[in-house]
Structures are given as structure tokens and as C-alpha cells.
Amino acid sequence: MALMKQSLRIALAQLDMLVGDVHGNATRVINTAREAHADLKADLVLFPELSLSGYPPEDLLFHRGFRRQIEAGLEKVRQEVRDVAVMLGFPEYSGTLIYNSAALINAGMVSAIHRKAELPNYKVFDEKRYFQPGAQPSVADVKGFRCGLLVCEDIWEPESAQLARSAGAELLIVINASPYEIHKQRERETVARARVLDVGLPMAYVNMIGGQDELIFDGNSFVMNAAGEVVMRAPAFVEGTFAVDFVRDSDRRVVPVPAVVAPEQSDEGSVYGALVVGVRDYVNKHGFPGVVMGLSGGIDSALTLAIAVDALGAERVHAVMMPSRYTSSMSLDDAKEQAQVLGVKYSVLSIENMFEATLATLKDEFAGRPVDATEENIQSRCRMLLLMGISNKTGKMLLTTGNKSEMAVGYATLYGDMAGGFAPIKDCSKMLVYRLAAYRNAAGRVIPQRVIDRPPSAELRHDQKDSDSLGAYEVLDAILEAFIEDDASVDEIVARGFDRSTVGRVLDMVKRNEYKRRQAPPGVRVSRRAFGRDWRYPITNGYRR
């Protein structure tokens, strides 16, 4: 009689955890583990990095009450999960030190703890502020399989995987809280492939999903065989628990059984998904009943409205058109059409009387001075008063509609169109905004084509066009990307084919407007470098190009 193959079924629990909600996160771990055992017949369930605390917990880690909750949460999981092994992330307190750790709990016992060895301290990460690095490999037996325990950044350098293999690991299990940015999944799998080819072991990789302030976690958990082939990939931005079997081949090597491999998303598809998740989680995790936003008839607010409806449903979105003497009939018609297509509550509130009253009040102060951007900014601030009034009265959060190109060069009004609680497209360049609008319309037209085709304008003076102040967005965005994301110097940007005086003018605008960006609301991070956690330029500085 042939012997049955020895097998290990691992379930990857791709979950959206809430930072700071230790009790709720522990309960989710317990319930998910039980369901994975009952429904999927899982032997081991992997949960994301810092599952108990949520990621990133930041300075919550320093609170003694938080430490007590973490320790109680881990004990709760240990006591209540008995029928299936689980590996979950938690902040481990040891005297005055804190470790970013993973606990393997089996049959009600903590059978192994791995302390993350590689602590990232770049881009959005500042783990060295909080954690001490671990130094030892961690290998644990689960149903006869020797599993090497790793946490996120541990696979981005070769040593931890090599130490795990030397300690007897037959497969690598990695828990992660890896934030989304464009092309990030491709980068993760390239790194994972280098590790498995180096040590000759398969890998199970689970990642968190959901929005946490500026950061978005996209999931895309996967399993890779020892040849570096992805044999299972979970879908992006979808919560779920995904099971994969590992068996021994005729040479006693551990191999994963191929399962469903979700296709990679297009650039526009992944960015749009991140924006929807970011809005949904920011609004819902804060308990807002919905959102209010200005709808101008332009491309930025049109895209933001589509995102808001996809994230929250039309019944939770209120769009407000606030025309002035400079608002074109085209803008009025297009805004109304989009609001009707999407089925949102729609209001038209003129700012003309407010604008005239403000100018009359300031008449003596402005006497003898020419009309300039001051009058334009007053219109923007009149709109802010109306939107914030609605927000305060209804409890709905104000969404800000500005894009990255505008935020970079200060083409926005402080305490005007920059006001709000969250800025969905804050990290989207103007050219990306157009691509996203086309992407969303391909799934069902919700943005009038005329909004996409017309030249962009703030409509704060007669015949105004963005290009009058900024030049062509194709040029502006390329220069901004080189400076912001690549840290390129003026000479390096000029060498890419751009006019030196144009480059200098753009970079001067970026520098001058740092004070504005510091006062902007948070927004979804989708690029390699966003204004926020990974942009820390001094407001006051004497650096010259």
C-alpha cells in the first residue's frame, strides 16, 4: 500500500487590522484561525506583521497601557486558539527594549518567537526609533515540517534566510506589513525570488491589506516554490484567507502545490484600488457618516468624486458646486451631469455674494493696489467656508481634491482648496489623474468626456488656464518626478532634456511652498516618494541649487 504524502496546509490570512485596537485585532486573529481550521482544514495560519498592534503603531508603543494590552492580547490568542497553529506579529516587550516579533502558537503554547533582524529605516519606515534588532534564526516544527520564521524586511537582505536554512528550515514563512506603491508587488517578488534561489527553499508570504493614514497595504500575498516561481497569489485589496498545501516530493524536499495565481494589476488599476481603499478605511475607521466635497467641473474633483462613490457608496457622498462670476456654463453642466450619473446628493451654492461682501469689507485695505492672486484666493476661501460649514453641521468629512503637481509647486490656496480632512489624490501627478480618469471611465463612464478633454483651469479669473502659471503638465510632472522621487540635481534634470531656466523655476516653487505642504491634509501614498512620511524637507533652510 502506498503511503499518504505528508502535507502541511498553510492559510495566508490577508487582513485589514486597525492600529491600536489590540482587543479587536486579537479577536480577529482568533476568529479567523478558527474559521481557517473549520472551513479550509488549515494546519497553520499566517497573520501579518504586528497583527496585534496594527502597523505602524508608532509612538503608541511607548505607552505602558498599550504594552499591557499587547501582552493580554497575546495571552488571549494563546489560550483560545488550540486546534490550529498560528503565526502572528506583535510588539514584544523585554525590559526596556521592544522587538518587532512573530510568535508561533501551537496547541496553546508559544513554541517559537522570532525577533525581526532587519529593521528598515528609509522611505516611510522608521523602525529603528522603536525596535531593537533580533540576532538569532528561528525554526519551528509544524506537523513535521521545519519552518523558518521571518518578518518582512528579513527577506530583503540574504542573511536571515541563510541562517534559517542553516538552522534546519525546510520552508520559509514570512509575515509582512509591506505598504503599497506603484510596481511594489513586482519588487517584492523579485526580492523573494532572490532569497529562495539563494537558499533553495520555498516561501509563503502573507501581507496586510487596508488603509492606515497615508499608507495603503495591498495584500498580494503569495507562495513561491524553490525555483522562484509564483504558484499562488492572492488578489490585491481583497480581505480573505487563502490556503496552500505543502508536500514532500520523492526526494523529501518540501514543495508547494500550485493554486490560484491572481493576475497582476495594471498600473492604473492598482493605483485606483489603493485610492479607493485609502478613502474607505480613513472614513470608516474614523467613524464619519460620509464625505462632502467641492465639485468644480474640473478633472481633479471629477476623479475624486468617482473614488469617493466607489469607496463609500453614493448615499454617503455629498457634492457641492460653488460657482462664481468666473465659472463657465460648461463647468456647471459637466458637474451636474457627473453628480446625476453617480447618484450623489448635489448642491449648487453661489459664492458671489460672499465674494462681493469680502471685497467690500477689504476695499480700504486694498486701495491703490492692483488686482492679483489675492482676489483669486478669496474665492477659494469662500468655498472653504461653505464646505466646512456643511462638514461641521452634518459630521461628514471634507475631502480635498488637489493633486501632487499642484501641491508640489504651491498651486493651491492655503485655508482654501487645501482645506479638508483627507486628500485622496494628493500623491497623483496631473498626468496620472488623466490616466486614472480614463481607467475609471473604461469600467463605466462616470466622468464626462469634456472634463477630460478641456484644458485645466482654476476658473478664478477670466480665461484662466493652469498652463499660464505652470506651463505644460507633461513637462512639469517629469521635472517634479525627477526631483521628488529621484532626488536628481538641476544638472541631472537638465541632462534629461529640460530647459535649465524652467527647471530652476519649478524647483524654486517647490522649495518656496514647503510651508503649505506641512499644513495640507494627509492623503494616499501611491508613488515611490510622497509628500508626507517620506518627505522631510526643512521649511526654513538656506540650501541653494
Per the DSSP assignment, residues forming a β-bridge with 9 are: 245
What are the residue ranges spanned by the domains of the chain?
Answer: 9-259, 269-517
pLDDT digits (tens, 9 = 90+) for 6-18: 899 999 999 999 9
Question: Which member of 116, 396, 404, 430 is catalytic?
Answer: 116
**Calpha distance 497→495 (Å, rounded):** 5
Q: Which residue has the higher pLDDT, 377 or 456?
A: 377
Task: Count the alpha carbons within 13 Å of 470 in the hemisphere toward its beta carbon.
Answer: 27
Give the mean pLDDT of 105-134.
94
pLDDT digits (tens, 9 = 90+) for 162-181: 999 999 999 999 999 999 99
Nearest to 543 by CA among 519, 510, 497, 496: 510
Say whether 131 sits in a helix, a strand or coil: coil
Whether the pLDDT of residue 456 is over 80: the answer is no
Contact 85, 105 (CB under 8 A): yes
pLDDT digits (tens, 9 = 90+) for 94-110: 999 999 999 999 989 99
Question: Which member of 147, 152, 382, 428 is catalytic?
Answer: 152
Catalytic site residue 239? no
**Calpha distance 454→304 (Å, rounded):** 17
Question: Which member of 49, 118, 170, 214 is catalytic?
Answer: 49
Say whether 242 sits in a helix, a strand or coil: strand
* Cα-based distances in Å from 525 to 116, 117, 241: 25, 26, 26
- pLDDT for 545 equals 64
Determine if the peptide bond prior to 56 is cis (ω within 30°). yes
CATH fold match for the domains 9-259 and 269-517: no
Of the pLDDT bands very low, low, confident and very high (cuts 50, 70, 90), residue 245 is very high
Give the mean pLDDT of 63-86.
95
pLDDT digits (tens, 9 = 90+) for 375-430: 999 999 999 999 999 999 999 999 999 999 999 999 999 999 999 999 999 999 99
Q: What CATH code would you report for 269-517?
A: 3.40.50.620
Catalytic site residue 123? no
Task: Count the alpha carbons within 13 Å of 4 in the hemisphere toward its beta carbon.
Answer: 3
Whether the pLDDT of residue 331 is over 80: the answer is yes
- pLDDT for 1 equals 39
**Calpha distance 77→451 (Å, rounded):** 53
- pLDDT for 36 equals 97
Of the pLDDT bands very low, low, confident and very high (cuts 50, 70, 90), residue 464 is low
Catalytic site residue 49? yes
* Cα-based distances in Å from 258 to 93, 176, 208, 229, 247: 39, 22, 22, 10, 11
Instruction: Please spell the DSSP secondary structure of 454-470, one letter per residue.
Output: SPP---SSTT--HHHHH
Q: Which CATH superfamily is domain 9-259 in?
A: Carbon-nitrogen hydrolase (3.60.110.10)
Whether the pLDDT of residue 469 is over 90: the answer is no
